[in-house]
Structure 1
Amino acid sequence: MTPVFPFTESRPVRFSGALPARVDVTVIGGGIAGVMTAWFLRQKGLSVLLCEKGRIAAEQSSRNWGWIRQQGRDPGELPIMIESLAIWKSLAAELGEALGFQQTGVMYLGDTAKDMDSFEAWMEHARAHQLDSRMMTAAEVSGMLKDSAKPWKGAIFTASDCRAEPWVAVPLLAAAAEERGVILRENCAVRALDLAAGRVAGVVTERGRVACDQVVVAAGAWSRLFLGREGVKIPQLSVLSSVCATTPMPEIYPGAAADGQIAFRRRADGGYTLAPGGSEHDFFIGPDAFASMFKFLPVLKNDFRATTFRMAAPQGYPDAWSTKRRWKADEVSPFETCRILNPKPSQKALDRLLTGFAAAFPGLGRPKLQASWAGMIDTMPDVVPVLDHAPIPGLTIATGLSGHGFGIGPGIGRVVADLVTGGPVGHDLSRFRFSRFNDGSKIAPGPSL
């Protein structure tokens, strides 16, 4: 498979056409969570419109690492992720090899004894859900990773975890959703909700109004900005994560693995997708960052050394100083002035990554790259999403997947579809409730890896 990196507006609009006058549900956001929510809503027999301001999956849903993992999940997410893996398997059986789905395992490598202790602690959750996760010795790691030279202490490994090709998979899922009757529209920003008697009556897009009774906001890094315009506040921010793709190279391991410095995942074309391991990222300081500072302090304390602070986001970004927070429904919105978030990767971070990879696998040397990019990860103070009804009747929020969205996206879609229709969700969603940010709850990351 020849990889495609569809990250810019130069990619032709694939999903176009006139807007319907009315649908049952409008989904805002064409990432994997939005696409799969639309998929399952349509499966229930509802008429569904999905509006994407730019291109389907052009932001974080195609810029991620391509991991589909149960391992290391927050315990609240784990049941949904287990279901999501089952959905991925059914999608792969239906859509074929083009999805890039492979069950090749995920491995977290331990640099220190502290890492190994954290892995062992998480095994409690693996055992509770009867996962096949297991601890590995240093010798076992050395035997699994070909020609590795780094003295890892050991690892935690989940053989049932998987990988897929994100820039191929999500557009493929969108096309399949359209075949099932979902109406998808690219280059169609939703500017505002249309409310009647305090509840959702429709949406106002840049192309006109569409009547509907329900709206799902699954807009990733743009969700806070859209919701804020409607008076709904969530403490969501975005961090920049840099990634690169190597040219084809000898296989050292067929799955995905990471330590505190490097993360790598085998691709279908014979190359590897590489990213800085751990939680290294860049953070732009803007008005939303100041407003949410105290809620994010627990995360910043844990990740401070791995965070590079930048004083301002590029013009047009959700938390840029010049980005409008208020606009009328008949005015051009911020979603139209920045169709696709396409940040520049951190070359310093990628240089450290490539040096670290070469040191870990000296026989391969410094990898040759065919592409590098960055994505804006929508994150929450407790690193889990909001999956809940908003204070506005008819409005449901599905955002803040915190860099974990690609793998869990199909499961999130099924859950949100049931939230919208009032059906039995099948999982405890209290960890993801909207009210947790203002009901006095302690907001902190859970025991994930």
Structure 2
Amino acid sequence: MEILFSHLNFPAQFGAFGAYLARQGWSVTFVTEREGVTPPSGCRVLRMTPHRAPTEGVHRFARPLEGAMINGQAFANAALAAQRKGLSPDIVVAHSGWGAGTFAKAVWPRVKYVSYVEWYYRHPPVDAVGAVPGGNDPDGRALALARNAPTLMDLAEADLVLCPTRFQADQFPGWMRDRITVLHDGVDTDFFTPDPGARPDVPGVALPDDAEIVSYATRGMEPTRGFPEFMRAVAVLQARRPRLHVVIGGQDRVAYGAQPTDGKGWKARMLDELDLDETRLHWPGLLPRRPWRTLLQATHVHVYLTVPFVLSWSMIEAMAAGAPLVVSDCAPVREAVVPGISAEMVDHRDPEALASAIARLLDDRARAARLGQGARAAAARLFAASSIYPAKARLLGDLVR
């Protein structure tokens, strides 16, 4: 079987699964905009290069669609060049919404096209940070509909639509949901495992032997992932717990949500706002895979916060490592954990309540251990790549056959 994955980034959601398929004897190609990437063993990578940015001054409703069409043209050009050299995939799997594979059937009319969808924009947005003004907002509704146009084009061509969680699939209109197969990307629960004797091995971070370790990780430090509320809770905890040390993985940027208008990132804002002991705050940046695992194995409490939005792999990896979890009480998180069984759940908009939830697990290590065991069991049952990858391979094989 010959399969092509297309995503603006790499490896993104497809890298590990593509490597698995290659080990099963599939011919695997990745197409990406990213430069300088090394393909997994047995795979190859092709680059797509957009020839220009969206037009300056184009109607703001049309800008996302024009960007996706430029990306789609870049994909098609790369695909045509590869076709002339003999590439003829049975299946193209593309990350929808950005044009990454929209024109796959223009190049290979008989190919089976799989649309991987992550989000459908609505108004008022379910992932809003803070209150949304009531009443009808024609401009907001129109913009949300226009942002969905690239995804709708992909759905029109798709032979199969994949979505990683039920919460994400439920954002789509009812008539579309019937076409969506919910199947998670899969997490390597054979790598992310509990180790009660682990000590953090995080570059640049030295922790005292008696430290109470609280961890938090995010691609970007932003309100969508509860970063300001977490830092306010840390200020409360630092004032009460002199042995508390907090390790915050991620980059000082906004990955999701609106960019700050004053040019100041949320890390700087929180350090200005709060009276914090910075000697007990540790900022290792984006963590490599093994140090990230040891942090999760050794942490006394791992905190995962989010508004109702795409569920992060980081939370599931923390579950698999058996980390005691304090998490946001919202729909996508409840799809993965059960309050009191596999996590402590809290309305993270209340920093005092968040601090209290963290303190309870720091004080009750037996309860923390039980929650960690429950989280590990849920991760192995719901998200293990060792069961999801074979199921997804069968699904794709059946699509062709």
Q: TM-score normalised by the shorter chain: which range applies?
A: under 0.3
Give the TM-score taking structure 2 as reference length.
0.27
Greater share of residues in helix: 2
Select the structure with the greater relative contact order (CA < 8 A; seq sep ≥ 6).
Answer: 1
Greater share of residues in strand: 1
